[in-house]
Every structure is written in C-alpha cells, then in structure tokens.
C-alpha cells in the first residue's frame, strides 16, 4: 500500500460507520454502569457532607474518622471504599463542590478513581468540571487523565488565546467544535529530535509515534497520510499531514513549520485546502480545515494573516524536548554504570552492618 495513501478516501465512510458503532456500544456500556456509579458517588458525597459538618459542629478529628472507618468496614465487610484515606477523600469531594445544592451532574457520572485524581491534581472549580466533561466525552482512562492534566491540556485548549477564523468561516455548531479541538501549544515531547530539525524529520517522528500524536491531537482524528500527494497542472505537491475528523466530518490539512510564523505560509495552506475540497471532499463532507503548526508565532501577525481569508484555518505553536547533544550524552553515565555504582554502594553498606 502506498504510504501516502494509508487511508484512501473511499474508506472514510467505513471509518464513519465504525466510529458510530463504537459510540453506540460505549454509550450502552456507560448507561449500564452509570446508574450504579451515580448512586455510589452520591453516597460518597453524603458521607463527605456528614464528616465535614460534624468536624465543624462537633469538632471531629482524625481519631473519630478512623473509628468511623473501622465501624463502617465492620458493618459492611462486602463493600470496599470505607478506608480512612477514602473517607478523607469523601470530605474533600464534598468541600470541592459544596457550593452546589447537590453533587454536580458531571462529576457524579465519573468513576471514583477519576474523581480522586481530579481532587489530587486540580484546584480550580471550573477546571475540575472541564476535565470531568472531557472524561465523559472522550472515555479517558485514569492514566490518560493524568497524562492530560500533567500536559496542561486545560490551559492549552480551554483558556488560551487561539488564532483561528473558524467563527467567521464555519457555521454553528461546527465552528465551536473546531475551536475546541485546537490547542496552543501542541506538546510533542514524545519526539526524539536532535538539533534544528527539518519539518520532514518531525513529520516522520510524528507518524512513527502516531498513537501518541493522535492522543495529543484529540478525539476524532483519523490519519490519512504523510506527504500526501496531490497533482495540479502536471505539478506534484505534498501535504505534510492529512487527517479526517470524524466529528467534524471533514478533512484536516496540517502543515508543519519548524520556524517562526510567516504570513506567506497561509497562502500555501489556502491552496491545499482548495485542492482537497475539490478533489477529495465528498458531498456529505464539510469544508476542509487547515491547521498551521509552527515553532513560534506572533499573535498580531497571525491574526492579520487570517483576517480576510475565507477558508477555515487555525494557527498554533508546537514544542518538543530536544535530545541532548552527543558531546553531553557521552559525558553522562550509562544505565549499566549507574547500576554498578548502586550495587557497589549497597555492598559497602551491607559490610558495615
């Protein structure tokens, strides 16, 4: 199969069908467990409320909560979740959302393990609810949730000053969804890039780590091809990265520039969008969207560049952790040397005992 056409246009309909079936199955699974989970979360809310109230009114301290934990475990040995630590989380859970008359509708749909992670790692109320919504919409596991929090996804996707023209070029609600999928900056720290990398090298690395790349892009992206070939008037052109977005129902052209943003980059992206709309876009597809990812961008310059552009585009930065130079890497101890040194220290300590 041609690497430039790993997902041929005619297979996009299959991806749409597969995505819809997966959505229906997941929805059925979630509905079956939500009723039980919601009751449990509301119970934890009530226990947290009771503990918080009695700490304030009766002066309950740690000893009382420890006793409560043991009494509940003795009374309900078949139920897990009444440990001393978990009771403290229940109190934190109530206090985090006590401004609500009942437990928020979003949060009571989350598994308790996810709620604990949110309590541990997030302080702001709005940010808590934002992550809760993302978990429900995207079906994140706990490990993915931790990864997204540690990458600062809320700051990069929800509250950054993005540079797009989606509101001017796309109808509602597509414009809102397109706006939500953009991040700034994109975090490609999973790449191993040395020195000043060429865009092609970054593309190859992104495709090599396609699963991590898709996770960073967000839910709904289906990979079509790298250096996707198009031909216009007997001349060959190559789109850096081409995707199809299953929720937006449109192709997404991504151009990478490992330099500072330049206004002329928009002209090339505009050309690619016109060609994709003409050659690949089907009758049921929405307008193709362009994403220009660069190393640096001046916000005002980027806004001017998009001001009178009629095709939907967004401009964001990306970052990656550069690999250590060879002269520094060679001066660092190897794993074997570190393990040998640790073994030697342990041997000396054992001899001293």
Could you read off the pLDDT of 256-288 as tens digits, one per residue?
999 999 999 999 999 999 999 999 999 999 999
Q: CA 260 from chain center: how many Å? A: 25
Assess whether 134 and 11 both reside in one domain: yes
Domain containing residue 175: 162-325
Residue 330 confidence (pLDDT): 47
Instruction: Examine the fold and report which residue of 104, 120, 150 is the final residue of a domain before the chain moves on.
Output: 150
Instruction: Examine the fold and report which residue of 150, 179, 204 is the final residue of a domain before the chain moves on.
Output: 150
pLDDT band, residue 349 (cuts 50/70/90): low
Q: Angle at Cα 295 formed by Cα 289 and Cα 297, nearest 5°?
A: 75
Assess whether 195 and 244 both reside in one domain: yes
The verdict on residue 352 lying in a domain is: no
Q: Which residues are CB-contacts of 231 (< 8 A; sequence separation ≥ 6)?
A: 237
Q: Round to whole Å and give the CA distance between 107 and 95.
A: 13
Nearest to 182 by CA among 203, 198, 166, 201: 166
Instruction: Find the range with the poorest average confidence among 39-48, 174-183, 187-196, 270-279.
Output: 187-196
Residue 153 confidence (pLDDT): 92
Q: Round to whole Å and give the CA distance between 249 and 231.
A: 24
Residue 353 confidence (pLDDT): 46
- What is the phi/psi pair of residue 98, to 5°? -70, -10
Assess whether 145 and 221 both reside in one domain: no
pLDDT band, residue 192 (cuts 50/70/90): confident
The verdict on residue 339 lying in a domain is: no
The verdict on residue 129 lying in a domain is: yes
Assess whether 79 and 224 both reside in one domain: no
Assess whether 141 and 9 both reside in one domain: yes
* H or E element in which residue 317 lies: strand 313-319
Assess whether 130 and 10 both reside in one domain: yes
Instruction: Find the range with the poorest average confidence among 35-49, 132-146, 261-275, 302-316.
Output: 35-49
Assess whether 129 and 168 both reside in one domain: no
* H or E element in which residue 253 lies: strand 250-260
CATH (domain of 195): 3.40.1350.10
The verdict on residue 330 lying in a domain is: no
Residue with tokens 């090339």: 268
Q: Round to whole Å and give the CA distance between 318 and 189.
A: 10
The domain tally of the chain equals 2
**Does residue 157 come out as left (phi exceeding 0), alpha (psi in the -120 to 50 range) or beta?**
alpha
Residue 169's CB is within 10 A of a number of other CB atoms, namely: 18
CB 223 within 8 A of CB 234: no
Q: Round to whole Å and give the CA distance between 320 and 36.
A: 42
Q: Mean pLDDT across the chain, nearest whole number?
A: 83
Assess whether 131 and 200 both reside in one domain: no
Percent of the chain having pLDDT more than 70?
A: 77
pLDDT tens for each residue of 92-106:
999 998 866 666 677
The verdict on residue 348 lying in a domain is: no
Assess whether 166 and 62 both reside in one domain: no
The verdict on residue 155 lying in a domain is: no
Assess whether 116 and 237 both reside in one domain: no
What does the DSSP 8-state code read for residue 193? B
Q: Which residues are CB-contacts of 72 (< 8 A; sequence separation ≥ 6)?
A: 82
The verdict on residue 47 lying in a domain is: yes
Assess whether 16 and 103 both reside in one domain: yes
Rg for the chain, CA atoms, rounded: 26
- What is the pLDDT averaged over residues 139-165? 88
Assess whether 109 and 239 both reside in one domain: no
Q: Round to whole Å and give the CA distance between 108 and 111.
A: 8
pLDDT band, residue 198 (cuts 50/70/90): confident
The verdict on residue 51 lying in a domain is: yes
Percent of the chain having pLDDT more than 90?
A: 47
């Amino acid at each position: 199969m041609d690497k430039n056409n790993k997902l041929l246009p005619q297979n996009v309909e299959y991806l749409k069908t597969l995505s819809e079936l997966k959505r229906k199955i997941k929805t059925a699974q979630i509905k079956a467990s939500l009723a039980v989970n919601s009751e449990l979360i509301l119970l934890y809310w009530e226990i947290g409320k009771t503990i918080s109230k009695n700490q304030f009114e009766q002066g309950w301290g740690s000893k009382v909560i420890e006793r409560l934990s043991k009494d509940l475990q003795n009374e309900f040995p078949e139920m897990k979740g009444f440990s001393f630590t978990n009771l403290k989380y229940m109190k934190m859970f109530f206090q985090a959302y006590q401004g609500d008359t009942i437990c928020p509708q979003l949060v009571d749909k989350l598994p308790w393990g996810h709620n604990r992670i949110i309590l541990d790692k997030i302080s702001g109320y709005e940010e808590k609810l934002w992550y809760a919504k993302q978990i429900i919409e995207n079906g994140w596991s706990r490990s993915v949730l931790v990864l997204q929090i540690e990458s600062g996804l809320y700051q990069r996707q929800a509250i950054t000053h993005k540079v797009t023209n989606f509101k001017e070029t796309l109808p509602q609600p597509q414009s809102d969804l397109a706006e939500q999928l953009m991040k700034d900056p994109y975090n490609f720290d999973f790449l191993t890039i040395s020195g000043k990398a060429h865009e092609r090298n970054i593309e190859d690395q992104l495709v090599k780590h396609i699963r991590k790349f898709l996770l960073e892009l967000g839910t709904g992206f289906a990979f079509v091809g790298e250096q996707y070939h198009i031909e216009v008037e007997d001349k060959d052109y190559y789109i850096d990265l081409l995707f199809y977005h299953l929720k937006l129902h449109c192709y997404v052209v991504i151009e990478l520039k490992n330099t500072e943003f330049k206004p002329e980059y928009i002209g090339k992206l505009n050309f690619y969008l016109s060609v994709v709309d003409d050659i690949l876009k089907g009758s049921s597809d929405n307008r193709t969207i362009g994403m220009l990812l660069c190393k640096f961008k001046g916000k005002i310059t980027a806004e001017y560049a998009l001001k009178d552009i009629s095709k939907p585009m967004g401009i964001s930065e990306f970052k990656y952790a550069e690999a250590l130079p060879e002269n520094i890497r060679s001066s660092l101890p190897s794993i074997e040397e570190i393990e040998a040194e640790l073994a030697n220290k342990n041997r000396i300590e054992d001899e001293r005992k």
